[in-house]
Each structure stands twice: as structure tokens, then as C-alpha cells.
Amino acid sequence: AQKITQTQPGMFVQEKEAVTLDCTYDTSDPSYGLFWYKQPSSGEMIFLIYQGSYDQQNATEGRYSLNFQKARKSANLVISASQLGDSAMYFCAMREGAGGTSYGKLTFGQGTILTVHP
């Protein structure tokens, strides 16, 4: 069974508008972390934002925020005020287990290609 599911192969958004990229996950571990990475056309993987399973508040990093709904097992990425440079592939990933004991392994979703139109 897929541990991380990104159901949107592609998304389009108008410049300056907000967009939500969906991510659902599956784990029975009470301690886990959720990550979002951006992969521009150049190929590198850029860390964007992190949400821990015990975090009480949704994570935010500049224009990025994570809409964490634990009961629904979803961790959607919200990008506000989209810019042309946001056009990229976005990956959701999960690490099961807490920090030092988790072995750090990440399980990735399939990715969503975001295209920002001017």
C-alpha cells in the first residue's frame, strides 16, 4: 500500500493566486514527520517545510504553509501569492519514527507538477 499519495499529477495556478497541493499519508506510527520538497526543472531537491506529528500548529515558512489534518492523515502544501519561479515538481515525503531513532528514511509521494501562469 502506498504510504504517501499525491493525487494531483499536475496543477495550474495564476500568478499571485494561492494554490494547494494535496498529500495524504498512511502510518500506524504515532511519531512521524512530513516534509515537502521542491524540484525545479534543473533537477535539484529543495527542502521547503516540515510538520511533526506532535506539532500543535500548522507549519509555515514564508509563502509556504502546511495544512496538517491529522485525523484525515493529510498534509497539504499551500503556496500563497504564487510566483513564476514556483513552477516545479513538488514532493511530499514522510519519515516514520522520531528524530534520532527513525533512521531518517524518507518515503516519497509521486509528485505534483505545478505550473504558474502569468
Partner 1 sequence: DADVTQTPRNRITKTGKRIMLECSQTKGHDRMYWYRQDPGLGLRLIYYSFDVKDINKGEISDGYSVSRQAQAKFSLSLESAIPNQTALYFCATSVPGQEPETQYFGPGTRLLVL
The answer to the question of residue 95 lying near partner 1 (CB under 8 A) is yes
The answer to the question of residue 110 lying near partner 1 (CB under 8 A) is yes
Query: What residues from 6 to 45 belong to the interface with partner 1 (CB under 8 A)?
Result: 9, 33, 35, 37, 43-45
**Smallest separation, CB 84 to partner 1 (Å):** 22
**Smallest separation, CB 92 to partner 1 (Å):** 9
Sign of CA dihedral 85, 86, 89, 91: positive
Write the burial class of residue 109 (CB in 10 Å: 0-12 exposed, 13-18 middle, 19+ buried): buried
**What DSSP state is assigned to residue 84?**
G
The answer to the question of residue 47 lying near partner 1 (CB under 8 A) is yes
Instruction: Give strand pairing partners of 44.
Output: none
